[in-house]
Amino acid sequence: MAPQVWIVGENGEDIQEPKEFLPLSKLEDIGVLYWHLDPKKSESEEELAKIRKERGYSYMDLIEICPDKLENYEEKVKNFFREHMHADEEIRYCLEGSGYFDVRDKDDRWIRIWIREGDMIILPAGIYHRFTVDSANYAKLMRLFIGEPVWAALNRPQEDHPARQEYVKNVSGGTGFALAAH
């Protein structure tokens, strides 16, 4: 099952009634990759291993986002929801629970991606995004990275950052991401 994807407002509020769900191609256009694996099935372990190998994701850890499992919960959750980018890809695989990744589209609107158990997403370097848990208030996520992880969140604006400039070039270039996705 593909995740539900729709447009939300600046504070993450729904602004469409009824909600209009967007096709996954909308994510591809802005360089966001998506897979669904089943964390309870052994074939998924093979598929995960394959993705990790192909994309060079040598580093892996787990993060549980809930008040009693995450140190400095309030501060971390606040920072996750502040619009930011990274110099590298952000790779998250949802093992349990759920949450919302919001990413900016080409028109600078917030596209909300509802991630649930088994969903894996890759946000390209330089994309503005934010994260929040949903009403279930729990997400257990695997974090993957190429080499030594750098979690530094670079808050918007970052227009002079090389990763941002590269991202903007790929998005406006048309085919850049379509090729990267396959």
Q: How far is the CB of 118 from ligand KMT (least distance, A)?
A: 16
Q: Which does 92 bind (CB under 5 to 8 A by kind): Fe ion, ligand KMT, none?
A: ligand KMT
Task: Dig out the tokens for 22 from the structure.
Answer: 């967007």
Annotation: binding site for Fe(2+): 84, 86, 90, 129
**Residue 100 or 177: which CB sits closer to ligand KMT?**
100
Q: Which helix (H) or strand (E) holds 66?
A: none
Is residue 89 close enough to count as binding Fe ion by CB under 5 A? Answer: no
Q: Which does 140 bind (CB under 5 to 8 A by kind): ligand KMT, Fe ion, none?
A: none
**Residue 63 or 168: which CB sits closer to ligand KMT?**
63
- Binding segment (CB under 5 A) for Fe ion, from list 25-33, 68-76, 84-92, 162-170: 84-92
Q: Are 6 and 16 in contact, with CB atoms under 8 Å apart?
A: yes
CA 30/CA 11 separation, integer angstroms: 21
Q: How far is the CB of 28 from Fe ion (least distance, A)?
A: 19
CA 100/CA 13 separation, integer angstroms: 12
Q: How far is the CB of 111 from Fe ion (least distance, A)?
A: 15
3-state SS assignment for residue 50: helix
Annotation: binding site for Ni(2+): 84, 86, 90, 129
Is residue 102 close enough to count as binding Fe ion by CB under 5 A? Answer: no
CA 16/CA 8 separation, integer angstroms: 8
CA 103/CA 171 separation, integer angstroms: 13
- Please report the sign of the dihedral spanned by the C-alpha atoms of residue 182, residue 57, residue 35, residue 86: negative
**Residue 79 or 178: which CB sits closer to ligand KMT?**
79
Site residues, Fe ion (CB under 5 A): 90
